[in-house]
Amino acid sequence: MKFFHKGLALLCTALLAASTLLVSGCGQGSQADNRRVIRIGHAQPQNHPEHAAFVAFKEYIEGELGDKYKVEIYPSELLGSQTNLVQLTQTGAIDMCIVGNALLSSFSQEVDVFNLPYLFASNEVFDAAMEDPNVTEPIFRNTQKAGFKVVSWVNVGTRNFYTVNTPINSPADMKGLKFRVQQSNINVRMMQLLGANATPMSFGEVYTSLQSGVIDGAENNELSLTANGHGDVCKYYTYDVHQMVLDDVIASNHFLEEVKENGDLEVFEKGFKLISQVGKEKCLASVREAKEKAEKEKGVHFIYPDQKPFVEACQPLYEEVLAQMPSLRPIYDAIQVYNKEYSEKKAKEGGK
């Protein structure tokens, strides 16, 4: 599968280069189209909220600057796995892509802070903290050393454990089971602390690995059960809410410099914000529908466990990570302030 994707990505790069020649006006007989083609890759199917978010971006950019730019979106891993997409963006072969935050940590380690399990006390905290540039900017600016910048992000719900045939009510039920995780050190350690075995692999390989029994389960949002079909095989889904589904939109440094030189950065920045907004709007409804569909049509059982034992098992991870990357401490502390505010607000509302 990996080789397939690599080969495919190379082929796609060649095709992209050929299409550039045509689009840039070398095609015979057609009127020259000198618009700059912006290529965006993603790994999700076209019925996923992230695709809708990119369509909104395309419409906005072409509406504002359609005489200069044309936006092309390549969904469904057409240009390769998420790792391939980051590599293509790094070199400027494509301009933008969206990938899981965890995966990005192998290119820019500090982004892993947002994958710390049970870090955000709620969706509300997540939104507030991620809107705060003091929390995100130092981390996202740093990715430029790797050849790209995180210019936006999409929250597609929460990450929870699901298995083929073992109901998970507490970490004890996970003992010895093999779970696919996204490729990040924090995820591997999280599974160790919960007593399970972590199998890092790319998202596109999860379905067949579940089907063939290579893994016993995975962890993701409800859309994975439907849009990605994992609910065909997995029948137990446990809301332990260990992470938010944070997907980062990255743009290559080359591309950002180019639009800046053209005086168009401001419009693009509005477009980047739009991706986050539309993604979020679409996400809530999509996740609700996915849950209903998984329950009714695929017979998936949803479990609401006590979160406490999961959280307690993962406690050592915070200090381990902060000792290893002390620069993350101010970010971690700022998120704790949001958590505190939220729990105080909740307590007040509860006391009314």
Q: Is 200 helix (H, G, I), strand (E, B) or coil?
A: strand
Counting residues that bind ligand GCU (by CB under 6 A) gives: 11
For residue 159, the minimal CB distance to ligand GCU (Å) is 7
How far is it, in rounded angstroms, from Cα 351 to Cα 347? 6
For residue 24, the minimal CB distance to ligand GCU (Å) is 31
Pairing of β 236-252 and β 301-303: parallel
User: Amino acid identity of 349?
Assistant: E
Question: In the complex with ligand GCU, which residue's Cβ is closer, 89 or 220?
Answer: 220
By the rule CB under 6 A, 203 interacts with ligand GCU: yes
Q: Rg of the Cα trace of the chain?
A: 21
How far is it, in rounded angstroms, from Cα 140 to Cα 338? 19
Query: Looking only at residues 12 through 51 of this chain, which bind ligand GCU when binding is defined by CB under 6 A?
Result: 43
x/- mask, ligand GCU, residues 208-227, rule CB under 6 A, reads ------------x---x---
For residue 81, the minimal CB distance to ligand GCU (Å) is 9
Both tokens of 9, joined, read: 């990505």
Question: In the complex with ligand GCU, which residue's Cβ is closer, 41 or 171?
Answer: 41
Q: In terms of C-beta distances under 8 Å and separation of at least 24 residues, what long-range contacts does 324-333 make, across chains too?
A: 325/109, 325/110, 325/113, 327/110, 327/138, 328/110, 328/113, 330/138, 331/113, 331/135, 331/138, 331/139, 332/113, 332/116, 332/119
Residue 326 makes CB contacts below 8 A (sequence gap 6+) with none
For residue 203, the minimal CB distance to ligand GCU (Å) is 3
How far is it, in rounded angstroms, from Cα 135 to Cα 328? 10
For residue 237, the minimal CB distance to ligand GCU (Å) is 14
For 312, how many CA atoms within 13 A lie in the half-sphere containing its CB?
A: 7
Question: In the complex with ligand GCU, which residue's Cβ is closer, 160 or 224?
Answer: 224
Pairing of β 148-163 and β 236-252: antiparallel
- Quickly count: other Cβ atoms within 10 Å of residue 50's Cβ: 25
Question: In the complex with ligand GCU, which residue's Cβ is closer, 179 or 203?
Answer: 203
Question: In the complex with ligand GCU, which residue's Cβ is closer, 23 or 241?
Answer: 241
Question: In the complex with ligand GCU, which residue's Cβ is closer, 24 or 123?
Answer: 123
Question: In the complex with ligand GCU, which residue's Cβ is closer, 108 or 220?
Answer: 220
Q: Which of 13, 152, 182, 252 binds ligand GCU (CB under 6 A)?
A: 182
For residue 292, the minimal CB distance to ligand GCU (Å) is 18
By the rule CB under 6 A, 157 interacts with ligand GCU: no
For 101, how many CA atoms within 13 A lie in the half-sphere containing its CB?
A: 28
By the rule CB under 6 A, 115 interacts with ligand GCU: no
By the rule CB under 6 A, 187 interacts with ligand GCU: no
Question: In the complex with ligand GCU, which residue's Cβ is closer, 65 or 100?
Answer: 100
Which runs of consecutive H residues, i.e. helices, occur in the chain? 2-21, 49-65, 82-91, 101-104, 123-130, 133-142, 185-193, 206-212, 223-226, 253-261, 265-298, 308-313, 315-324, 329-351
Question: In the complex with ligand GCU, which residue's Cβ is closer, 100 or 117?
Answer: 100
Q: Which of 100, 117, 217, 271 binds ligand GCU (CB under 6 A)?
A: 100
For residue 350, the minimal CB distance to ligand GCU (Å) is 32
Q: Which of 85, 146, 245, 259 binds ligand GCU (CB under 6 A)?
A: 245
**Residues of this chain that bind ligand GCU (CB under 6 A):** 43, 82, 99-100, 156, 182, 203, 220, 224, 245, 247
